[in-house]
Amino acid sequence: MQSLVWNFAAGLLVGLPLAALAYRARALDANAALLSVIFACAYMLPGPVVFAAALTFFASSSVVTRLGYARKEKLGAAESRRGRSAAQVVGAGGAAALLCLLAVVTPHGHSTSFTLAAVAALAASNADTWAAEVGSLSRRKPKLILNPRLPIEPGTSGGVTLLGEAASAAGSALVALVVLALSQLLGIGITAQQVALIALLGWAGELLDSIVGALLQAKYFCETCKVYTDKPVHKCGSKTAFTSGLKFVTNEVTNIISTCTVAAAAVLIFS
């Protein structure tokens, strides 16, 4: 119990200034910054591994979000200048936070599987962010993953590019490699095989996110520009017509579905 208190305190001590910096840098809005502190405490509960994965995700995703921002803004694929919202934080990191709580309330034999699953969920979130942010800079328009002949707007869920998929694999691998390095440094005992599986699960999670986005996420069509988008109002200012999907399935809901699926698969694999 004492170690949990210390871990919680460490998460709070590190999470508070990081959240403040993120808010000042407009990487997160106020509600998202507050929620990130709560998540930081949860990530630290089972030890430093998940926290390191989360920090890698946050830092690297913030960098790729700012990469080519002006161009992405013109394409209508840029994140809000106010920063990511609380809903986005839940979509990207909620599954990992829940798994960390499960890791500290279950018997020791199962806690490791929940911890590794939390890392896999964060690897999937990083893969998805890198795919979207770097893929938006591709010179070629993204194609719908289930219909490669159908071009869609950059930033639209369900769209993929070769550049984005390469970035996705790199983003997932980065989280996995940081965890491996920390494990070697602290003698935690996470194996290279487990890390390789985490990297693969993270990339698979991004592909699943695209598939779920293509199948279930609300899609709209702009008659003015003759393109599909996931926004009710297109960047040109025109109202769009709902064409497919479920209206309540937003990008955040899609993220939750994909990260939870990856987490469940990881728990089964690592148990």
150-184 residue pLDDT tens: 777 776 778 899 999 999 999 999 999 999 999 99
Q: How far apart are the first and last CA of the chain?
A: 24
The CA–CA distances, whole Å, from 92 to 126, 233, 244, 252, 253 equal 8, 24, 24, 8, 10
Q: Cα(140)–Cα(143) distance, rounded to whole angstroms? A: 9
Whole-prediction pTM: 0.92
Sign for the CA dihedral angle at 73, 83, 92, 89 comes to: negative
Output 76 or 147, whichever has higher pLDDT: 147
Q: Cα(92)–Cα(138) distance, rounded to whole angstroms? A: 23
The CA–CA distances, whole Å, from 39 to 54, 98, 110, 258 equal 9, 9, 21, 19
Reply yes or no on whether the pLDDT at 230 is more than 90: no
Q: Cα(247)–Cα(220) distance, rounded to whole angstroms? A: 10
Residues 6 or more apart from 177 whose CB is under 8 A from it?
Answer: 195, 199
Tokens of 119: 């890392």
Reply yes or no on whether the pLDDT at 1 is more than 70: no
Helix, strand, coil proportions of the chain in percent (round to 5)?
A: 65, 10, 25
Q: Cα(119)–Cα(201) distance, rounded to whole angstroms? A: 10
The answer to whether the CB of 203 falls within 8 A of the CB of 265 is: no
Read off the pLDDT of residues 49-106 as tens digits, 9 standing for 90 and up.
999 999 999 999 999 998 887 787 777 666 777 889 999 999 999 999 999 999 999 8
Q: What is the pLDDT of residue 236?
A: 80
Q: What is the pLDDT of the chain when averaged over all its residues?
A: 91
2: confidence class by pLDDT, cuts 50, 70, 90: low
